[in-house]
A and B are shown apart, each in its own frame.
Chain A
Amino acid sequence: EVQLVQSGAEVKKPGESLKISCKGSGYSFSSYWIAWVRQMPGKGLEWMGIIFPGDSDTRYNPSFQGQVTISADKAITTAYLQWSSLRPSDTAMYFCARSGGRGPQSPFPHWGQGTLVTVSS
């Protein structure tokens, strides 16, 4: 069974750094794309970017380029989303999701449970 298990909720202050994780299991982690999706409070879904753990090919939504860094460690089957300096506007639920096919142009049938990030002074 494919599983994506995300790290727990975080409460941070503006300006702090953060790295959240998404651990995949039940499949060949290196062979499928993993995406990150933001959902701000009471709002819709926004595609942040995607990574292929096999070779770390990473593609960002231009709206998030430079604001976050997506990475993966295939040795421990874990993908990451990180910020160097958080802002209150980063307060949101963050989901990871795995592609259904081997290419980036695929639907995403597998989702993590979400990580709530709260940024407040």
Chain B
Amino acid sequence: DIVMTQSPDSLAVSLGERATINCKSSLSVISSSNDKNYLGWYQQKPGQSPKLLISWASTRESGVPDRFSGSGSGTDFTLTISSLQAEDVAVYYCQQYYNTPTFGQGTKVEIK
């Protein structure tokens, strides 16, 4: 299995400030056939289902605010919230779907 490791486990950021979450995979999740990174980011608010924010490492889903962005390639990825809003308090998960999908352990984002 590909192991996904996120850092940090939690972070507290002031409103309007930048939040950065890292995700590292134990194997590369980029396909040599299409040059795509099989990596997604999900947001889960308390009591809700996960919501896909970013797919293919950097493609924002329809309706997702542009303060959310994804970057990285191969084994190292980042989710950035450029200006944290109160409604962004949630747990964020990275997921690889290169082979049997696996999730990172989650990063809890709170307001400082």
Interface residues of A (CB under 8 A from B): 35, 37, 44-47, 50, 59, 61-62, 95, 97, 100, 104-109, 111-114
Contact = CB atoms under 8 A, between A and B. Distances in A.
A113 B49 contact: yes
Interface of B: 1, 38, 40, 42, 44, 49-52, 55-56, 61, 91, 93, 95, 97-106
B55 A105 contact: no
Nearest to A49: B100
Given A35-B101, A44-B103, A105 B49 contact: no
Instruction: State the majority secondary structure of interface residues on B.
Output: loop
Nearest to B97: A105
A111 B101 contact: no
Given A44-B93, A45-B93, A47-B100, A108 B52 contact: yes
A116 B102 CA distance: 21
21 contacts: A35-B101, A44-B104, A44-B106, A45-B42, A45-B103, A45-B106, A46-B103, A47-B102, A59-B100, A62-B1, A97-B50, A100-B55, A104-B97, A105-B98, A106-B97, A107-B40, A107-B55, A107-B97, A111-B49, A111-B50, A114-B49
